Amino acid sequence: MGGDTLNEDKRIDMTRAILVTGGAGYVGSHTVAYLLENMGNDLEIVVVDNLINSYRSKPGQKKPESLRIIEDMTGKTIHFYNCDIRDVQAMHRVFQNHLIECVIHFAALKAVGESVTKPLEYYQANVSGTCTLFEVMRDHGVHKLVYSSSCTVYGEPQRLPLDETHPTGAGLTNPYGRSKYFCEEIMKDLCASDKKWSVISLRYFNPVGAHPSGRIGEDPRGTPNNLMPYIAQVAVGRLEELQVFGSDYPTVDGTGVRDYVHVQDLAEGHAGALACFNKTEFTGFHAINLGTGTGYSVLQMVAAFEAASGKRVPWRVAARRAGDVAVNYADASLAARTLGWRARRTLADMCADTWRWQSTHPHGYAT
């Protein structure tokens, strides 16, 4: 559908804006903070988030806690819309109210286990919602997009490290992973249909860590599914012990190996992607890995976290988790060549920054 558009005269006076969907969430909030900390005043940040997975503001506060803290940290304003990306009318209003130049699209549901029991909700939010966003972008003449993809699109690795030419889509074991893969295929079709589109799909490996201030971080609802927040909650005393899912993988110590990447490095990767939109070679669809290129086992992660926090993290071996691969790590050289991006933070940084956030916010934003 076509939305009303502002006439050119009105637009001339407007400040250029970046729309960040899902900007109140974990990766989104760190990216928003990074952009506000590093960009000039000639750009504004507009966030759309339905707050389904972010901490709601206290009564009387309009903005989610993560964004309120970022405004406090940076002294800058974030334009916030509490709305769902599937709400076409509301999305049109956002594009009418701001001179959006490009979109960073984080908004999605991301709990792998839940996606198995609620596939329709996941395809609705992640695939249908993404199509709705693209329609609204097209109607407003906005064709630049950075998409939050995942190394999960590679499925079971056929070779390591995983580079961007590795096949995608085969052997995906859950609707969440498939929704990321489907969105990439949709974006390829979109770029093939109209040369105006420039899409950079960033395939994150395992995001961990927190802002070095310790004021924003990952705040999972309920018991964490992912390793790092689970370890952090054991260290802070919220959970009793870590269950190590499998100790008989063909790895250094039998436990699963992953490429953990600091969320601040990811934020820099998004800024690098935005900078590419000025280059003509960045039209069309580009998938780019964001990882460190180094894998660590579960027990190496436990040891690193104990060293950073000075706390013991009790663990015991449990059965393998269904759908888990043994080893996963990135070839991150394309990001270096094209975005000029390299993960700079070490495993010790990832653990220290997670601990600074977790120890000062044992119950996340609700602390």
Please give the positions annotated as active site.
176
State the DSSP string of 12-37. HTSPEEEEEETTTSHHHHHHHHHHHH
Q: Measured between alpha carbons, how far is 118 from 242 in angstroms, rounded to an integer?
A: 26
Task: Return the residue of 323, 333, 342, 362 that touches ligand UD1, per CB under 6 A.
Answer: 323
Chain residue whose CB lies nearest ligand NAD: 25
Q: Is 28 in the site for ligand UD1 (CB under 6 A)?
A: no
The radius of gyration of the chain's CA atoms, rounded to the nearest angstrom, is 20
Q: Is 332 in the site for ligand NAD (CB under 6 A)?
A: no
Q: Which residues lie below 8 Å from residue 125, measured CB to CB, with a gap of 6+?
A: 85, 86, 107, 108, 109
Q: Which residues lie below 8 Å from residue 172, measured CB to CB, with a gap of 6+?
A: 152, 153, 155, 178, 181
Single-letter amino acid, residue 287: A
- Contact predicate 22/28, CB 8 Å: yes
| Region 28-47 residues binding ligand NAD, contact defined as CB under 6 A | 28
Q: Is 258 in the site for ligand UD1 (CB under 6 A)?
A: yes
The label of the residue with tokens 């689970």 reads 230
Q: Is 122 in the site for ligand UD1 (CB under 6 A)?
A: no
| Region 193-212 residues binding ligand NAD, contact defined as CB under 6 A | 204, 207
Q: Is 294 in the site for ligand UD1 (CB under 6 A)?
A: no
Q: What is the per-residue binding string for ligand NAD in 75-104, x denoting contact by CB under 6 A?
A: ---------xxx------------------
| Region 233-292 residues binding ligand NAD, contact defined as CB under 6 A | none
Q: Which does 175 bind (CB under 5 to 8 A by kind): ligand UD1, ligand NAD, none?
A: none
Q: Which does 50 bind (CB under 5 to 8 A by kind): ligand NAD, ligand UD1, none?
A: ligand NAD
Cα angle at 101 between 56 and 333, to 5 degrees? 85
Span interacting with ligand UD1, options 187-195, 213-221, 277-285, 316-324, rule CB under 6 A? 316-324
Paired tokens of 269: 């990767």
Q: Measured between alpha carbons, how far is 295 from 155 in angstroms, rounded to an integer?
A: 17
Q: What is the per-residue binding string for ligand UD1 in 208-247, x denoting contact by CB under 6 A?
A: -----------------xxx--x-----------xxxx--
Helices 227-235 and 347-360, packing angle to 10 deg: 50
Binding site for ligand UD1 (CB under 6 A): 112, 150, 152, 176-177, 206, 225-227, 230, 242-245, 256, 258, 298, 321, 323-324
Binding site for ligand NAD (CB under 6 A): 21-22, 24-28, 48-54, 84-86, 106-110, 125, 129, 148, 150, 204, 207
